[in-house]
């Protein structure tokens, strides 16, 4: 199934997004609802809350008085953390049960208000963040929940700020307009990304770019890599295999195909198959069919075998190169990246070459082959640089 994490600050309109996704066909797990269930009357969760905060957090019927509890914890960080320790583990257990019961073709949306705060982003195939300006949120909280401005400000301050949530966002939905505008954005996300993404994950199908289109340097490429790497790390854990951002998107200021190249280091190619390949596929990085290798440098020294995985996400192509630690291809990928980062002249020369070839050899195969002569020479320059500077991978 496709697992989507949905989050946003209080008053952002996250619940409206969740409702629209359910209307389109998603299955929803609402962390707030589960948080209420695990402290319902008669539960051990409620008993532990009372033992921690006293019976003043109960109403006349013996149920949890959420307003009274909120007054205690939102003004006291240590109290809030004690409450979270009681609730979060129980919510995770219940979430796992509901996830296990979901059909295999589900688009499963986890509505988690504190997704960024508790570090859950790598557990999802995709994270959607609803972002709305603070003043708009304050007005909504006063209108819809009757909160005073001071209380609403306290609630907002107790959560992650916009920058922290944006750092984990694969999709950032801005909700400053009308409900119809928000629905249109959600519908496009569902149609163009979530449905094909789920289909690709289920069928173990990687998205491949066949035409070369150079994108101007994107300062967010490193942040996109970081999210992908965290997802890969979560999928293969508890392994401590090395993961690196390589290729042109790892070199600041260099135009490139909008494909994130990642290198996963393994002890042997035999270990790249089997369980590791399945874990990567489950996380949205299926193997690309066929045999894969890199062109050796210098030419004629035998092909450098590897495994290649891609991304099932139609909006975020990835080349995940699985190479043996210390192998020639593994070392070469890191050396080329670091030399181009360090040498502005060669970086500029490479950019000129890329633009020329993208215009004359627009398909991926011929584009890659046409770069070989330049890289044969660049390899020699990079090795000289490595010897002179003491570079190590």
pLDDT in tens, 309-344: 999 999 999 999 999 999 999 999 999 999 999 999
Share of the chain above pLDDT 90, in %: 71
Q: pLDDT category, 364, cuts 50, 70, 90?
A: low
Give the closest residue to 231 by CA, choosing from 303, 286, 283, 169: 283
Q: Angle between the 372-389 and 344-360 helix axes, to the nearest 10 degrees?
A: 170
DSSP for 248-297, written as a single string: GGGSTT--EES-EEEEEEES-GGGGSTHHHHHHHHTT-PBPSS-EEEPPS
More confident residue, 142 or 125: 125
pLDDT tens-digit map of 128-146: 999 988 888 888 888 888 8
Angle at 353 between CA 347 and CA 356, to 5 degrees: 145
Q: What is the pLDDT of residues 196-247, one digit of tens each?
A: 999 999 999 999 987 888 899 999 999 999 999 999 999 998 888 999 999 9
- 3-state SS record for 191-226: HHHHHHHHHHHHCCCCECCCECCEECCCCCHHHHHH
Indicate whether 62 pLDDT > 70: yes
CB 69 within 8 A of CB 83: yes
What is 290-343 written as a DSSP string?
A: S-EEEPPSSTTS--EEEEEEEBS-TTS-EEEEEEETT-HHHHHHHHHHHHHHH-
Rounded mean pLDDT, 3-21: 93
Q: Which residues contact 141 (CB under 8 A, 6 or more apart)?
A: 10, 11, 147, 152, 155
Is the CA virtual torsion 320, 326, 327, 330 positive or negative?
Answer: positive
pLDDT exceeds 90 at position 263: yes
- Mean pLDDT in the chain? 92
Report d(CA 339, CA 269) in Å as an integer. 27
Helix-strand-coil split of the chain, %, nearest 5: 50, 15, 30
**What angle (nearest 5°) sits at the alpha carbon of residue 107, between those of residues 103 and 109?**
115
Out of 13-17, 114-118, 248-252, 288-292, least confident range = 114-118
Q: What is the pTM of this model?
A: 0.89
Query: How far is it, in rounded angstroms, from Cα 36 to Cα 67?
Result: 13
Whether 74 shows a pLDDT value over 90: the answer reads no
**Hey, CA dihedral for 85, 86, 88, 94, is it positive or negative?**
positive
Using pLDDT thresholds of 50, 70 and 90, give the confidence band for residue 370: confident
Q: Are strands 27-30 and 107-111 parallel, antiparallel or unpaired?
A: parallel
377-392 tens-digit pLDDT? 999 999 999 999 999 9
């Amino acid at each position: 199934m496709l697992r989507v994490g949905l989050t946003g600050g209080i008053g952002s309109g996250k619940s409206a997004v969740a409702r629209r996704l359910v209307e389109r066909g998603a299955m929803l797990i609402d962390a707030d609802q589960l948080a209420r269930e695990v402290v319902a009357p008669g539960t051990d969760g409620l008993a532990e809350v009372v033992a921690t905060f006293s019976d003043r957090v109960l109403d006349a019927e013996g149920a949890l008085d959420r307003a009274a509890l909120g007054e205690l914890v939102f003004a006291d960080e240590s109290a809030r953390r004690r409450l979270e320790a009681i609730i979060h583990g129980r919510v995770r257990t219940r979430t796992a049960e509901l996830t296990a019961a979901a059909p295999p073709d589900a688009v499963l949306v986890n509505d988690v208000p504190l997704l960024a705060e508790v570090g859950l982003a790598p557990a999802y195939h995709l994270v959607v963040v609803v972002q709305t300006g603070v003043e708009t949120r304050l007005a909504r909280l006063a209108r819809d929940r009757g909160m005073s401005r001071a209380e609403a400000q306290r609630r907002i301050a107790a959560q992650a700020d916009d920058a922290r949530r944006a750092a984990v966002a694969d999709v950032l939905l801005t909700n400053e307009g009308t409900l119809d505008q928000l629905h249109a954005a959600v519908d496009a996300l569902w149609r163009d990304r979530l449905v094909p993404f789920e289909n690709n994950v289920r069928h173990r199908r990687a998205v491949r770019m066949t035409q070369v289109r150079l994108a101007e340097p994107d300062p967010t490429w490193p942040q996109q890599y970081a999210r992908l790497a965290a997802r890969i790390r979560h999928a293969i854990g508890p392994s401590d295999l090395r993961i690196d951002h390589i290729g042109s998107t790892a070199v600041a200021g260099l135009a490139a195909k909008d494909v994130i190249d990642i290198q996963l280091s393994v002890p042997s190619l035999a270990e790249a198959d089997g369980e590791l390949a399945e874990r990567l596929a489950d996380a949205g990085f299926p193997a690309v069919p066929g045999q894969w290798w890199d062109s050796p440098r210098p030419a004629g020294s035998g092909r450098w075998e590897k495994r290649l995985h891609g991304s099932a996400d139609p909006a975020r192509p990835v080349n995940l190169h699985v190479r043996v630690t210390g192998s020639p291809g593994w070392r070469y990928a890191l050396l080329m990246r670091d030399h181009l980062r360090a040498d502005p002249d060669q970086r500029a020369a490479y950019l000129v070459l890329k633009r020329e070839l993208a215009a004359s050899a627009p398909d991926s195969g011929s584009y890659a082959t046409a770069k070989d002569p330049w890289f044969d020479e660049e390899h020699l320059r990079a090795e000289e640089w490595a010897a002179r500077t003491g570079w190590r991978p």
